[in-house]
Structures are given as C-alpha cells and as structure tokens.
C-alpha cells in the first residue's frame, strides 16, 4: 500500500462479481483484440481474497472485506440495504423484499416506497429527478436483472446506463459521494459455465467502467476502483483438446463460435416454444451451434421452464466451450489472486504489488479521510452495557423468533429496537437512528449493538 494517499472527494468502487482473468482476456479477444478494455489502463496490483475460515472466497465475506476492512467468516455479510439510508439503489431482486418470502414477514417494498422515488423501467429511471432513487428492474420473475445479451433495454437499463444515472444523481451532493457498482451476472454465467454469458456481461461491465472513468477524468477529484471479489469457474483459453496443438491455436478458432451467439444459453432457453419443437432452429439462430438428436432429447426432457434454463446452460455451455477450445474446472468459485484496477488523478498513490482484500478498505478509508474502527466503536455500541451506564433497565423480547426486540426502560420512557433496522420506537412512536441495530444471536441474547444516538434517547 502507498504510504501517502491524499483525499479524494468521490470514490467509485466497481465489483465484477466472479470475474476471472481469463474471462477478461477472452472478452478483449472477442471484442477484436486490438482495442484495450477500459479496465486495461487501470491495472495496478494483485489482490489476495479469502475468508477467515476457508481459502476460496464467497461474495458475502469478500464484500465485507472491501466495505469494513475485516476478514469475515464465510456466510456472513456486513451490509444492509433498505434501512442504510443510501441515496441511490438501482438493481433487481424485488421478489426478495416482499413479505411472503421473508422470515421476518416485513414488507420492505412498502418501506422503500415511503423513502424513495421507485422506478421499474429504463425511461422512468432516466426521467427521475429525485435525490432518493430506487430502481427495481428485472425480467426473470423479478429475481435478477437477466444477462446483458438477453436484456429488454426498455425494461432493464444497462449497467452503464445505471452507472451514469447514479453518478448524475449523487454528484449533486457537494460533500462528495461513494458509489458501489456490481456486475453480478458475470458470476452467474461463470457458475453456469456459459462462456457467452461471461463475455457478454464482462463486456457490459467494462462499458460501465468507461462511464465511471470518463466522469473521474473530468471531475479530477474522483478515484475509481475496479476489483472482483473472487475467481469463478476456472475458465481457461485452451482446454484438454489443446494439450497438444495449443501453440498453433488460431484466434478465429476461439472467437468465431462465441461471436455467432447473440443470446446466453439461458436466453436461448427462454426463446424455445412451449412444445419444444423448435430447439434445433432456436439454438442455431441464437447460439450458432448445431445440436445433435441426443442433445435435443436432453433439452426436451427438462421438467419445467426453470429446469429448461439449467439444462440449456449445461448442454449448450459445454458445447460452446468445446467449440471455442475453452476449459472450465468447476461450477464454483476459485481461490487465485485477483486483479486490481484503479483510476486515480494521483497515479503514484495507487496500490501496487500483491495486497490483501482488506487493504482495499484501508485505501478507501484514506481516500475518504475516515476511520472505520472509530466509526465502528461509535455506531455499534454494546447495548446492555451502554444503557446500564445510563441507569436504564434492559430486557430482550424473543416472543417472535424472526423479529427479536431489545426493550429499554428508564422512568416513564420505553424504547424498543428491532434487529437490522435503523429505527427506535420511543413510547410507541418511530424515530430514525443514524445507524443500524444489530443482534448477533450469540451468548444468550447479550450481543445487541446500537448506534450512539440510540443511547442518547434514554436521557
């Protein structure tokens, strides 16, 4: 890490989820191989990325390391979306905010609508003038945005359009901003071993990097950090079939099959007709491959629309990989070092060499002139001890297991705090807090944490 890192007004951190270096190389070749990717000029270091209890990272602990500067256990995440008070949130997954799929049965869409201008298509997003903007986009039953190649541009904005809108909205804040942009479907395509999806979504992500870097170059006070959270799939250019002959493998052998595909394998599945009589035609037209009778039979046997997607990804992804001489070693994440890309107006102050993933948080800390440890001490105070010091009585209400409540009494005042919310209920009336209330569920309910202004409420 560089010793001196000067402050920056704005930081944009961009995370191409599950992007392996070979996927980046492949995207550059498919794009023509001459023009560099937007990321290329920013490459500056390698990053070690692993959780505290394993050697291959998952998205949650990896994201926590970037956000909090702490190596977390797998399965744990230090983030909260709805109650965190963000100004702009654009993405998919509306389904997961609805009471019927939530353990706590809370209607988070209602909470969001009370605090944000909520938009659900590209035109509405572009037209919104609100400083508090939430976008719920997505075609697949609102669970995700869908792959870039399969996207309906009227319903789902591209990642570069979302980045552009987020910067336009946030940059009106004179104090500066922090923006996190995630290219999430790169990871999904890698899990599915679909090289078409990998290349399509890295390409879309790289265009968003252009938008961010163009802004940073004009602004002269913005740093752009691009770093994945972990590798995925073990994608390789060259596979078992090129063990001999790799040194004469021509570019066209790799990129020509990929270029013929205009939809991902999942997108192809969605285009097959209801009686599945046009599998060969749809695959030929949108994936550029000729499927065998065996392959048609496998696809035809899919149980339902969702299974059809999985089967198409398995059959067509493997077929494309074989055609383009690509290898995959796993359907899971991989543990190699990952690439760090940084645009900074002060080039000499970029991290270099091999750094830890937690160093990314330390770097942002320096850029933003903040102290995460001091902030943690202020905003996550151990509630029982802090309230007891104020002469208040504390009890825990676990009558609804999915919604435990911390109850604090002093004189005629009753304060109630629910976990994972930045809200206090003072004598029955809701008051907004500056941070979240956390309950860790460890040690018999003692570990409740509250922000400093929650403690002041007993006065």
Contacts with Zn ion by CB under 5 A lie at: 17, 59, 187, 229
Q: Minimum distance between the CB of residue 185 and Zn ion, rounded to whole angstroms?
A: 11
Q: Which among 400, 397, 442 is positioned nearest to 104, based on CA atoms?
A: 400
Phi, psi of 123, rounded to the nearest 5 degrees: -65, -45
Distance set, CA 330 to CA 190, 231, 232, 243, 401 (Å): 9, 11, 8, 19, 38
Q: Does residue 264 contact residue 194 with C-beta atoms inside 8 Å?
A: yes
| 46 versus 426: smaller Cβ distance to Zn ion | 46
Quote the least distance from Cβ 65 to Zn ion, whole Å: 12
Coil vs helix vs strand at 19: coil
Q: How far is the CB of 23 from Zn ion (least distance, A)?
A: 13
- Closest distance between Zn ion and the C-beta of residue 229, in Å? 4
> E strands within 53-111?
88-91
Q: Nearer to Zn ion by C-beta: 205 or 215?
A: 205
326-327/333-334 β-pairing: unpaired
With vertex at residue 249, the alpha carbon angle to CA 288 and CA 237, rounded to the nearest 5 degrees, is: 70
Nearer residue to Zn ion within complex by CB, 147 or 417: 147
Instruction: Name the minimum Å distance from CB 441 to Zn ion.
Output: 25
Decide the pairing of beta strands 438-439 and 429-432. unpaired
H helices within 136-276, ranges in order? 159-170, 185-191, 195-219, 251-260, 265-271
Of all residues in the shown chain, the one whose CB is closest to Zn ion is 59
Task: For Zn ion, give the closer residue by CB, 64 or 163.
Answer: 64
Least Å distance between CB 63 and Zn ion? 8
Quote the least distance from Cβ 28 to Zn ion, whole Å.
22
CA 310, CA 288: separation in Å to the nearest integer?
Answer: 19
- Is 24 or 59 the residue whose CB approaches Zn ion more closely? 59
| Residue closer to Zn ion (CB basis): 161 or 187 | 187
Q: CA 262 to CA 196: how far, in whole Å?
A: 8
Q: How far is the CB of 433 from Zn ion (least distance, A)?
A: 30
Nearer to Zn ion, 187 or 295 (CB): 187
Contacts of 306 (CB under 8 A, 6+ apart): none
Q: Nearer Cβ to Zn ion, position 106 or 229? A: 229
In degrees rounded to 5, what are phi and psi of residue 441?
70, 20
- Say if CB 362 and CB 426 are below 8 A apart: no
């Amino acid at each position: 890490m560089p010793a001196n890192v000067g402050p920056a007004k704005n930081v944009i951190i961009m995370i191409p989820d599950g992007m392996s270096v070979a996927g980046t190389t492949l995207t550059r070749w498919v794009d023509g191989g001459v023009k560099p990717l937007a990321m290329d000029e920013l490459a500056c270091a390698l990053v070690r990325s692993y959780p505290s209890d394993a050697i291959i990272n998952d998205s949650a602990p990896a994201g926590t390391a970037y956000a909090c500067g702490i190596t977390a256990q797998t399965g744990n995440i230090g983030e909260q979306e709805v109650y965190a008070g963000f100004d702009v949130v654009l993405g998919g997954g509306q389904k997961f905010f609805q009471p019927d799929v939530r353990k706590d049965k809370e209607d988070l869409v209602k909470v969001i609508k009370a605090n944000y201008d909520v938009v659900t298509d590209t035109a509405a997003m572009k037209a919104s003038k609100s400083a508090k903007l939430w976008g719920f986009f997505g075609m697949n039953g609102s669970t995700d945005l869908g792959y870039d190649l399969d996207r309906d541009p009227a319903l789902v904005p591209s990642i570069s359009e979302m980045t552009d809108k987020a910067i336009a909205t946030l940059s009106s804040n004179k104090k500066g901003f922090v923006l996190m942009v995630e290219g999430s479907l790169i990871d999904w395509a890698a899990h599915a071993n679909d090289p078409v999806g990998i290349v399509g979504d890295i390409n879309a992500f790289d265009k968003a990097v252009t938008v961010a870097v163009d802004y940073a170059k004009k602004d002269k006070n913005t740093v752009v950090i691009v770093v994945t959270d972990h590798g995925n799939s073990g994608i390789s250019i060259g596979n078992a079939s090129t063990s001999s002959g790799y040194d004469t493998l021509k570019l066209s052998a790799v990129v020509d099959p990929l270029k013929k595909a205009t939809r991902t394998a999942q997108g192809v599945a969605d285009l097959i007709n209801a009686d599945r009589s046009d599998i060969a035609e749809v695959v030929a037209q949108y994936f550029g491959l000729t499927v065998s009778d065996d392959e048609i039979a496998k696809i035809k046997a899919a149980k339902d629309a969702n299974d059809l997607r999985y089967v198409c990804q398995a059959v067509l992804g493997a077929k494309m990989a074989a055609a383009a001489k690509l290898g995959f070693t796993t359907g899971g994440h991989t543990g190699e070092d990952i690439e760090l890309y940084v645009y900074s107006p002060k080039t000499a102050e970029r991290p270099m060499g091999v750094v830890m993933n937690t160093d990314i948080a330390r770097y942002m800390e320096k850029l933003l002139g903040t102290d995460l440890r001091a902030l943690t001490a202020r905003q996550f105070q151990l509630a029982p001890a802090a309230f007891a010091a104020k002469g208040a009585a504390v009890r825990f209400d676990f009558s609804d297991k999915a919604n435990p409540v911390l109850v604090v009494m002093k004189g005629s005042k009753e304060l109630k705090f629910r976990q994972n919310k930045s809200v206090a209920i003072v004598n029955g009336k809701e008051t907004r807090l500056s941070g979240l209330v956390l309950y860790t569920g460890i040690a018999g309910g003692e570990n409740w944490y509250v922000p400093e202004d929650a403690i002041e409420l007993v006065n």
